[in-house]
A and B are shown apart, each in its own frame.
Chain A
Amino acid sequence: MSMVAILEQALNGFIVSAFYALAALGLAIIFGVLRIVNFAHGELYMLGGYAYFLAVSALGLPPMLGILVATVALAAIGALVEWLLIRPVYDGRADRPEEYSIMITFALSIFLLNLANSLFGPWPRRPEPLLRGSVELGELIVTGDRLAAAGVALVLIALLLAGLRYTWAGRAVRAVSQNREAAAIFGISVTQVGMLAFALGAALAGTAGALMGPVFNVVPVMGVIPVIKAYVIVVLGGLGSIPGAIIGAIILGQVETFGTILIPDPSRALAYKDAYGLVLLVGILLLRPQGLFGTKERRA
């Protein structure tokens, strides 16, 4: 394999990592603040894709605005879901909160998937991408839609990290992630931060869906595979850890891109591509459940 081909694979891996990171960060923030894994994350991602499709193809808005529409719409949906379904997890209304949180988000994902199937039909849609054609970087050639989407994703990740670090709301989110009780004593409304975290997580999933929709396709099942990758990433980095999610995304992007080359039979290699991350997930959970950067928790 030539150097250029290797670089091309690595670059592709990084582009894929940028998308994965965006979706995984939402999961990490939700887990950090609320201590729940959102099993409906893939369907929020899918709704983002449809929001973008409706804004760009049906209303004729420019693609940049379409992404904004998806972000805002999903933030609103996220806040609503938190208020209606997630709140019983931490206000004592659910008998077994952890079990409830897993089942309610899983049930929500089934509902949303079938709702999209009924509303929009199972056909793939292809809305206008951010950038057409392909871009040459030295000897490397990348398609424009992927590169632009990855660029937007990187800018958003940078903004998010800055927001978490320097704004009051960001500090509140981090404080609640670190210690719920202490944050509450210092006057942070844990309930409001919970809602903010879920809305933010949903918005990030929606943005990722809006960016990926035109690159792949907008279909009701589009969230099923990316969300599994997002699980792998957050587990790899340690559930709830934000730097962990970014590093996890980079690792997974590379493992998948180069893992595919390892199996000689090409059709089988493609079929097993999605399994690499899963093996990684099982391995990490069994050997080091707290992930690379997570903190150890012991509870019965």
Chain B
Amino acid sequence: MSMTMLRVTGLGLVLTVFLMLPFILGDYWIYTVTIGFYYAILAASWALLVGYVGRISFAQTAMAGLGGYVSALSVQHIGLPPVLGLVLGVMVAAMIGFGIGRMTLRLHGAYLGLTTIAFAEILRITATAEYNLTEGSRGLQVAPLLEGGTRVEYYFLFLAITVACLALMTWLLRSRVGLFFQSIREDEDGAASLGVNVTLWKTLAFAISSAFAGLAGGLQAHFVQLITPSMMSLQEMGLVLAMAVIGGFHNVVFAALGGVGLQVSLEALRELGQWRLVVFGLLTVIILRAVPNGIFGFVFDALAKRLVKKGRDE
């Protein structure tokens, strides 16, 4: 079995499980996994930026909230159909992401982290303060994406979009662009000296990552039919970070699996109350410290290593 075979088998297995789930699970769990798809896209979009380009951002959930608010408000006030609202939300998130990427070109590491925290908090505070428009912290009612859609219909729609997003990200990251991204992560000056347009790709990476986050936020808003500024809070950002880190943030698919996995486990362990968040917080710290590739990354590497060894023995 080659590495490609391992990847294809793994992906096929995961996809089969997700395709069968709605026929096994009850309504409540279908709903939970659907929310998990929102986190999957969000965690993957964050991993795209942090894991591949090495640009840290704490504004990912703020971008999701922005996409959600833009879509919800355009449907409410301009009367766009929700699908076009989603598109508008994605475009605005991409534009703001482009702007942030452009402005923060000179910044690195912790400076970038602080700037993105500031952007995220400014967005959240604005959404809370402009209550005439957004209903503030009480939350804004949002039109449903599918008029009279059932849970199962939403589930398959979200599954399809998540798979499409991950396929798009993987295609992008495996193309030349992905190599540009990784070269920027490893050595920016080196990449620039070899002719990589560092300025362009750093900016575009922010825009692309924000666009995916905006899409996730719009979907979530039209599915739950309510959006509140707490969606943009740093605590939510912490949750997304935990998901990507636990899954493995050096691979968009692993990060996405971390998103669904953590969301489902959080619901499954509801009896533990607040303690489940303590457990996952601790798990995130331990994984960062001891298994930087995340759980799925670790398992995949272990399987791959066995394969290589077996190949050598034969």
Q: Give the B-binding residues of A (Cβ under 8 A).
A: 31, 36-37, 39, 84-85, 88, 94-96, 98-104, 106-115, 117-118, 224, 228, 231-232, 235, 239, 268, 271-272, 274-275, 278-279, 281-282, 285-286, 289, 299-300
Q: In the complex the two chains form, is A96's CB within 8 Å of B54's CB?
A: yes
A-B contact pairs, 5 of them (CB 8 A): A98-B110, A100-B288, A102-B113, A107-B281, A231-B118
Q: What separation, in Å, do the CA atoms of A300 and B234 have in the docked complex?
A: 27
Give bound CA distance, A265 to B22, whole Å: 50
Q: Which residue of A lies closest to B50 (CB)?
A: A99
Cβ contact of B278, chosen from A39, A115, A224, A282, cutoff 8 A: A115
Q: Out of A110, A113, A271, A286, name the residue touching B125 (CB < 8 Å).
A: A271
6 extra interface residue pairs, beta carbon distance < 8 Å, beyond A37-B113, A282-B115, A300-B108: A102-B110, A106-B238, A107-B285, A110-B238, A235-B114, A275-B125
Interface contact B242-A107, CB-CB below 8 Å? yes
Main secondary structure of the interface of B (DSSP, over half): helix
Closest to B184 in A: A300
Do B114 and A99 touch (CB < 8 A)?
Answer: no
Closest Cβ of chain B: how far from A6's Cβ, in Å? 26
Which of these binds chain A: B64-72, B99-107, B144-152, B204-212? B99-107
The answer to whether A102 and B122 touch (CB under 8 A), given A85-B289, A117-B274, is no
Q: Are A278 and B118 in contact, CB atoms less than 8 angstroms apart?
A: yes
Q: Are A300 and B188 in contact (CB under 8 A)?
A: yes
Q: By the criterion CB–CB under 8 Å, are A85 and B285 in contact?
A: yes
Nearest B residue to A299, CB-CB: B108
Choose from B54, B117, B119, B289 the contact partner of A99 (Cβ within 8 Å). Answer: B54
- In the complex, the answer to whether B117 meets A228 with C-beta atoms within 8 Å is yes
Interfacial chain B residues near A268, Cβ < 8 Å? 129
Which residues of B lie under 8 Å from residue A282 when comparing CB positions? 115, 118-119, 122
Q: Does B227 contact A (CB under 8 A)?
A: no
- Encode B283-314 as 1/0 by CB contact (under 8 A) with A: 01100110010000000000000000000000
| Chain A residue nearest in CB terms to B132 | A268
Q: A102-B56, A104-B289, A118-B273 are in contact. Are A110 and B242 (CB under 8 A)?
A: yes
When the two chains form the complex, which single residue of A113, A231, A272, A274 contacts B117, counting CB atoms closer than 8 Å?
A231
Name the B residues within 8 Å of A231 (CB-CB).
Answer: 114, 117-118
Q: Does B197 interact with chain A (Cβ within 8 Å)?
A: no
Q: Which residue of A lies closest to B234 (CB)?
A: A224
Evaluate whether A95 and B292 lie within 8 angstroms (CB atoms) in the complex, with A110-B284, A111-B285 already known.
yes
Question: How many B residues touch A, CB cutoff 8 Å?
Answer: 46
Query: What is the CA–CA distance of A268 and B111 in the complex, to the nearest angstrom?
Result: 29
7 closest Cβ pairs, A-B complex: A111-B281, A271-B129, A37-B110, A110-B238, A114-B277, A98-B109, A300-B188
Q: Is the CB of B235 within 8 A of A103?
A: no
Tell me the nearest residue of chain A to B274, going by C-beta.
A118
**Which among A111, A112, A114, A274 is the interface contact of B274 at CB below 8 angstroms?**
A114
B121 x A274 contact (CB < 8 A): yes
CB-nearest residue of chain A relative to B277? A114
- Of residues 75 through 127 on chain B, the ones whose CB sits less than 8 Å from some CB of chain A are 103-104, 106-111, 113-115, 117-119, 121-122, 125-126
For B56, the chain A residues whose CB sits under 8 A away are: 99, 102-103
Shortest C-beta distance, B171 to chain A (Å), equals: 25
